[in-house]
Structure 1
Amino acid sequence: MSMRKARYSCMKGFSLIEIALALLLVGIFFTSMFASTSALTLVEKQQKQENEMSDIHQAMLTYLKVNHHLPCPDTDGDGKENRKITSGVAVCKSRSGTLPYLDLSVGGKDVWGSAYYYQVNARAENKKYVNDMCQTSSVFGSEGAVTVSNKLAYCSSAHVYYCQGCDSVCSSACKTGGSIDVSSFNAPPYMQLGTPPIGSDKAGSGTNSHKNLWLEDASGNEIENALVYVVASFGADGLVTWDNCQKASSARQKENCDGDEVFSETKGDNQDFLDAMTVLDAKRALLEVGAIK
């Protein structure tokens, strides 16, 4: 009898150990599974955000092709661009704000629920420059008479406008300044083929006379310049960045929210997502719809 009890007690103890071990293994399994699921969710969100940035870029191109100008930033959060009329010229109320998503027919929040940051050429705020075809900011000009700068030149035989003189390329007399008839230029596009910069533009440096934006890689090397706008999703920690730019996770991320002309690629779980348009992209879009020739 005592041996039977001892054997039963041993078997009972062994079962408890088995149960404890099984529970431990199950716990480890589910912990690993949840960790993997969490990581996968982050990857999925980042991929979805990449796709949404592509959608925003296409929406910007479509807007430009239809309206012959790009939208200004939204400064009051209603999803629409904000402009003000100054001496008959419509300028952007601010060079930065949120994305005018209703004007573009895209979503107003990124996958983490934060608004998109939107910054444009600083001279889009200035009535002197926004309708001047010799300024890159002219891609934001939406109404009013064209501004004739002292750099503007016109070759009547080729029907082409230039911004650095045209004597060397024009078979007829090259007209300049007030001798150019610009009476037909009272609607966009104010940007023309000759609008500078032609090629690259060292934005962000002392030579950046056109106030364009530029992009660096995560190591600080320039990878793109002559950008007329940048749209940014501040990523998984976007709420922190929107609350205080200086609390962003890295120095590279701070470049994307500090309001200057320099933006940066970022890496990691809290990486930012950027969309931008070059002067060449803008001109190509206008050429495709015959808005400029």
Structure 2
Amino acid sequence: MTGFLDNVLNGLALGAVYALVALGFVVMFKASGVLNFAHGSLLLFGGYLIAVLHDDLGFAGALALAVLATAALAGALDRFLLQRGGLDEQSAHIQTIVTIGIDILLFTDLARRIGGDLLPLGDPWGDAVTELGPVTVADSRLAAIVVSTVVIGTVFALFRFTSWGLSLRAAAEDLEAAALMGVRLGRVRAGGWALAGALAALAAVFLASFPAPGLERTTGQIALHAFPAAILGGLASPVGALAGSLLIGLTEALVVGYQSELHVLGEGFGDVAPYAVMLLVLLVRPTGLFGGKGAARV
């Protein structure tokens, strides 16, 4: 029973981190109709900045600068590169392909800089653990749950109670109507991309913290486990991204925790389990768990 509770708590923590990444996918898609395949590299960029700056600026200073820099990079990529192809839905399909090229360029440069090293991020939790009754959990996991909850709640408040959030929701429903009503589509979507970049940089902290050995060049690829979470929940649904992330996190943690019992499925099944769950759900709900009739772009 203790092992099951350990796996569930680890799964919730992992799902909370995936939710930060998946919410970034959803925000970018709602803002621009573009599925950003370079999101993992943006996360790696933010983590790399924290790793190289924390000795000089301290963890808090490095984190703040990395979040701002990653947000600025994501916003600039959209504003000055992708938007040149147009703001309509047809252009969004081409821009999605362009993000593959952006990902290759960013990842190649970052992989060259990181090499085979494991970079510590200087987070304040280290390898400390806390005992919650019969369950022992890493402090970094608890911090991931708390921080992700606060940040995701703040993002949902931005969607609901700010003029930018209203503009974003209007643009997601109908680009032409939103433009006619005075919504500045270019600024709205660049802001969405910047927000997604900030969330990715924050997620990098917890993906590279204990029990992970540190930041490595494959960290961005691990973050792409949040991609099936966004698809599973419904790519235009922030609530779906949260639900899908928790489901994917729990699935991955339970599969890894009970790997010995699931050996017939192969030793690497934990890596493909999120995609297997996504496919099973999409067979029943092609638009995702929270996708509606209007979510035809999923």
Q: One fold, TM greater than 0.5? A: no
The TM-score with structure 2 as length reference comes to: 0.27
TM-score (norm 1): 0.27
Higher relative contact order (CA 8 A, sep 6+): 2
> Greater strand percent: which structure?
1
Question: Which structure has greater helix proportion?
Answer: 2
